[in-house]
């Protein structure tokens, strides 16, 4: 599944694996990474759209307050 694999790519690209490894015992590193990727793939879109419903506007147009002033 593409979304699952994008989860792996995201964790590597953003340096999230060391954080995961810090919080999970080594015997469970692979299982934890797979669980996170499955969570993102299975529920990511639902979470995204629920947030959009709650915010009341297109979430793609939303920027955090610090980014609105050109400070990113």
Q: What does the pLDDT look like over 15-66, one tens digit per residue?
A: 999 999 999 999 999 999 999 999 989 998 888 788 778 876 666 676 666 6
Query: For residue 1, what pLDDT band results from cuts at 50, 70 and 90?
Result: confident
Q: What is the spatial distance between Cα 63 and Cα 7, in angstroms, rounded to a whole number?
A: 22
Q: What is the spatial distance between Cα 11 and Cα 6, in angstroms, rounded to a whole number?
A: 9
* pTM confidence score: 0.67
């Amino acid at each position: 599944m593409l979304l699952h694999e994008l989860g792996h790519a995201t964790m590597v690209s953003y340096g999230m694996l060391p954080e995961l490894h810090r919080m999970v015992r080594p015997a469970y590193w692979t299982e934890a990474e797979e669980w996170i990727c499955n969570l993102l793939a299975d529920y990511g879109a639902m979470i995204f759209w629920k947030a959009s419903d709650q915010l009341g506007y297109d979430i793609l147009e939303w920027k955090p307050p610090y980014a609105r002033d050109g400070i990113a």
